[in-house]
Amino acid sequence: MTAELGHFALILAFAISIPQIFIPMIGAHKDWNNWMRFAAPAAIAQFLLVGLAFAMLTVAFVTSDFSVKLVVANSHSAKPMLYKVTGVWANHEGSMLLWITILTLFGATVAVWGENLPPSLKARVLSVQSMIGAAFLGFILFTSNPFTRLSQPPIDGNGLNPLLQDPGLAFHPPFLYLGYVGLSMAFSFAVAALIEGKVDAAWARWVRPWTLAAWIFLTIGIGLGSWWAYYELGWGGWWFWDPVENASFMPWLMATALLHSAIVVEKRNALKSWTVLLAILAFSFSLIGTFIVRSGVITSVHAFANDPERGVFILAILAVAIGGALTLYAFRATQLQSTAVFSLVSRESGLVMNNLLLTVAAAVVFVGTIWPLVVEIATGAKVSVGAPFFNIAFTPFMVVLAMILPIAAMLPWKRSNLKRIIQPLWGIAALSVALGAAVWVMQTGGRMLAPVGLTLAFWVIAGAVADVASRVKLGKAPLSESIRRAGNLPRADWGKMFAHSGFGLMIFGISAIMAWEFEDIRTVEIGETFPLQVYELRFDAVEGIQGPNYTAARGEFTLLKDGVEISKLYPEKRNYTVSGTKTTEAAIDQSLLRDVYVVLGDRQSDGSWAVRSYVKPFTNWIWVGVFTLAFGGVLSITDRRYRVAATARKAAMPAVPAE
């Protein structure tokens, strides 16, 4: 019953999405209020129905209903409950259902919390949102039905890929989807604004919270994914420039650019047509990402050709959405002239630089990601574009970005004197370079990466703090005055400080691990102690253990420093009995200064074991940086100017009787 109910709810949602496209759009065009008012209840109904379908699929997974094909293929009765739930979206059909659930969720938030929007804009936004919804509901219903039943249910399921059975990955897809599907809001607002022919500060203020929310989720989602890769995928790599990773990283870069350009629209009424274009492009990259991941086209053109139905369907959605939006843009963008003036040295210019660097960086990632495909289609040859290329082609843009960030962030709007703005930053610049030089002298190897990285990291972080310090006149005014000013500082300014510092912390973590990682590979006998950089590692024992759905050999290691025990480490080699898959579970002794990372290898013929161990300095700062970035976003989204809008709306709203 549950599966049929879910399927039926999806069909109903699809049936509602079609009129939701036309009725509000025509209503907005003709200025018919009752037609426009159709949009909100329709969007809410769409969300409730899709949500019901999602709940039904979850029930099927939780109760291990093996008459549903998807459950058989991706679940097993012996799987822990958490992974039965996450199994819902750890497959093609389920992940598309999650995608559409989140899409309709965002539509519903506009319907519920969008009372302060002009009725025509709200109607058009929900109409555009429903176009995307209808396209993807059609995709699910016609090519990827998650509720297909089997006529002869098997006794048990096939289980879930063991690599995916991990708490870090369990929550990675929902966050990621909240992020890049959330960008659909920016897209819908942009298209609606083009149809209206009006983009102003108010538009930017409405679109910003949604973009910011999407960006926060995307940041956390990518962070969780890379953290999972770090401890689960072997040797402690945290970013592989895999097409699937790039698929989420490109929208992130574009969303970051969009957040910055939307500020210019909001505060200065400039960069309007560019911001609209960015909003379209950001979601276009989300769609391209979905296509890349879901069609298998990047792994091999042949994989795509074997099962072209889904790929062609998404490609069609992609072409219509992106092509349509850009065509509309071409016709309407000229109407979005802004009159604001600013000089070469101004915050506006700084934000233009930010946008230039971020979009070009995204374009480089895009070209690198699709290059093998382009070459294969054009010449039939197979080439690879991997991490070494991206490290060289992408990094320079981030270096330049980090160099100009503290200066640009302190520039006032309209015009400024560069000399005066730079003044408080000279000291920081000198300190950063001195720090880098000191590191260069102290380290033994000649790699420039660590000194340069540290210089940039310190420059960005101290610059972000100096910005706030100068805003509150720290040191220039009495302390009590500075504290009073700090209390009055808008939260968005604190958000800016945290977000920029987060970027600096990431640079620090990344350059530290790339420059100073220490690796040791050797065979070790049980009972043997061997030196590991400044530590010693003792291999105590190996024992067989039985997990809920796997068996494992678990090594026991003692980490010592100068003979004193620091901690015990238990790396495992697991064998998942249902699928026969084997995985290695690294053991990590974590701290903010360094991670000691131990992997148990194979047993050698002489009875000893291969052991790989690493000392990875300051690694966790990468993720501290990611979460500081996201925290900055959270502070920004709770800024007074959005809350004021919210209270104004509440005051205007009639009291709702309790149910």
Residue 82 or 545: the one with the smaller Cβ distance to another protein is: 545
Cα separation, 264 vs 270, whole angstroms: 6
What x-and-dash track marks residues 245-284 binding another protein by CB under 8 A?
A: -------------------------x--------------
Residue from 387, 448, 534, 644 in contact with another protein (CB under 8 A): 387
The yes or no reply on residue 546 touching another protein (CB under 8 A) is yes
DSSP assigned state of 578: T
Is there binding between residue 341 and another protein (CB under 8 A)? Answer: yes
Size of the site for another protein (CB under 8 A): 70
Largest pairwise CA distance in the chain: 84
Confirm or reject binding of residue 230 to another protein (CB under 8 A).
Answer: no
Q: Could you give the string, one character per residue 187-226, with x where binding to another protein holds by CB under 8 A and - elsewhere?
A: ----------------------------------------
Q: Distance between CA atoms of 272 and 257, rounded to whole angstroms?
A: 13
Q: What would the x/- binding string for another protein be over residues 603 to 622, using CB under 8 A?
A: xx-----x-x----------
Residue 340 phi/psi, 5° resolution?
A: -60, 140
Residue of the chain from 155, 392, 655, 658 that contacts another protein (CB under 8 A):
392
3-state secondary structure 7-74: HHHHHHHHHHHHHHHHHHHHHHHHCCHHHHCCHHHHHHHHHHHHHHHHHHHHHHHHCCCCCEHHHHHH
Burial 85-99 (b: 16+ CB within 10 A, else e): bbbbbbbbbbbbbbb
Distance CA 521, CA 8 (A): 56
Comparison of 191 and 336: residue with beta carbon closer to another protein? 336
Which of 323, 543, 644, 648 forms a contact with another protein (CB under 8 A)?
A: 543
Sign of CA dihedral 492, 493, 499, 503: positive
Rounded to whole angstroms, the Cα distance separating 617 from 560 reads 17
Alpha helices in 197-237 (DSSP H): 201-232
Residue 561 is a binding residue for another protein (CB under 8 A): no
- Which CB, 85 or 393, lies closer to another protein? 393
Binding range to another protein, per CB under 8 A, among 219-227, 280-288, 348-356, 635-643? 348-356
Contact track, another protein, 405-434, x by CB under 8 A: ---------xxxx-----------------
Residue length of the chain: 659
Q: DSSP assignment, residue 162?
A: G
By CB under 8 A, name the one of 80, 167, 197, 237 that touches another protein.
237
Q: Does 655 bind another protein (CB under 8 A)?
A: no
What CA–CA distances, in Å, run from 33 to 39, 119, 310, 398?
11, 8, 39, 48
Contacts of 502 (CB under 8 A, 6+ apart): 625, 626, 627, 628, 629, 630, 631, 632
Quick one: 108 or 204, whose CB is closer to another protein?
204
- x/- track of binding to another protein for residues 577-606 (CB under 8 A): -----x-x--------------x-xxxx--
Give 555's strand partners: 542
Map residues 467-506 to x or -, x wherever contact with another protein holds by CB under 8 A.
----------------------------------------
- Interface ranges with another protein (CB under 8 A): 234-235, 237, 240-243, 270, 299, 340-345, 348-349, 352-353, 356-357, 359-361, 363-364, 367-368, 371, 375, 379, 381-389, 392-394, 396-397, 414-417, 521-523, 542-544, 546, 551-553, 573, 575, 582, 584, 599, 601-604, 610, 612
